[in-house]
Amino acid sequence: MLKGKNILLCVTGGIAVYKAAALTSKLTQAGASVKIIMSNGAQKFVTPLTFQALSRNDVYTDTFDEKHPESIAHIDLADWADLVLVAPATANIIGKLANGIADDMISTTLLAATAPVWIAPAMNVHMYDHPAVKRNIERLQSYGYQFVEPNEGYLACGYVGKGRMEEPENIVKLISSYWEKEKNQPLKGKKIVITAGPTREILDPVRFFSNRSSGKMGYALAEEAHQLGADVTLISGPVSLNPPIGVNVKYIENAEEMYDAVLEEFPSADIVIKSAAVADYRPKQVSNEKMKKQDGDLIIQMERTKDILKTLGERKDHQFLVGFAAETSNLDEYAMSKLKRKNADMIIANNVNEKGAGFEEDTNIVTIYKKDGSNKRLGLMSKKELAKEIFREIVKTLQEERSK
């Protein structure tokens, strides 16, 4: 299953070290080449010789013990690995990694690693539930680290609860599934830029013009693109959503900042999806002081913002350009007109008056319009499911274009 894969197993101190020995054996039997780094604490439970015998490779324990003088061990190991697995992972190593501390062989190597890093925690139930540990885990997740959730059950300390390291055979299955999935990533090697959320156009220090976009559709698209293997940059307006794991997020405030951020990423992009609800107009005059209430009506002069989708359509050469259209009537007419005027390859249009398809919803109902004049209506579904459908259509269209 894992033939030809290089797995670096980092073993930290806890009674679950015995599971790491079994994990080493199972990974090796599955065809992986396994190298081991052990912390000082881990060596108190199981000797390095055990792991050397099971992996048939050197075991590393000391940053300054260079087994091969022609290379620096912690850098060489980090470069060698296709996957880095920390199992068992104590609260200590999780805290070190989350805060950029490199004071031993494992933490130094982890900071140098560019391969995917998986962490399998093992600790007392109260330690696992401590706010500091939870914060550190959330921080590492936001960096793109993947966690193998611990099980609930009887712990070595006598407590019953969550904290048991996942069983070795299940970890091997997860790793095998990960690489099986890697084979089926049609967007691997592609750079995708996605915009999401609203913009805010400032009137004075306390007021701004905006819209009801939640950013949920753009964030779902970014998450799906990452799952399909793409290198994803998400350019987001002000939203109250957690950043998708493994996605590079750039936050902006107004339409001008969105314009600049998109154009900066555009030349190197393969696919651009404009799902953000960018303001078409902004106040012509912005006050540095709060505008005071006056008698009578207030007239605010507005000016057009830059048309981002139109600009991209004019400048594109190899990019596949997708726009969104939120309408309240004449969906077909307006969507096809936008497709042609903006020189887009695809427009995703919805009627925001339709139940389940408006702003701030968790669901949507859209029609996908393509440059060849075809369209496909999709029924009510979650935005996560819709993101999958949209990328199916994008991949299908790109494959058809390549075959011509």
Residue 38 and residue 8: Cα distance in Å, rounded? 11
Residue 140 and residue 132: Cα distance in Å, rounded? 12
388 is in an annotated binding site: no
- Which amino acid appears at position 81 of this protein? A
290 is in an annotated binding site: yes
SS3 48: helix
Helix (H) or strand (E) holding 38: strand 33-38
324 is in an annotated binding site: yes
- Which amino acid appears at position 298 of this protein? L
Residue 402 and residue 404: Cα distance in Å, rounded? 6
The greatest distance separating any two alpha carbons of the chain, rounded to the nearest whole angstrom, comes to 86
Say which of 15, 75, 156, 157 is annotated catalytic: 157
248: exposed, middle or buried (Cβ count in 10 Å: 0-12, 13-18, 19+): middle
Whether the Cβ atoms of residue 316 and residue 270 lie closer than 8 Å to each other: no
Residue 299 and residue 123: Cα distance in Å, rounded? 63
280 is in an annotated binding site: yes
Residues in a beta bridge with 232: 192
- Smallest CA-to-CA distance from 148 within 134, 125, 131, 165 is with 165
Residues near 56 by beta carbon (within 8 Å), at least 6 away in sequence: 28
Annotated catalytic, 157? Answer: yes
- Smallest CA-to-CA distance from 112 within 70, 150, 81, 68 is with 81
Residues with a catalytic annotation lie at 157
Could you list the residues known to form a binding site for CTP, using ranges. 280, 290, 324, 338, 342
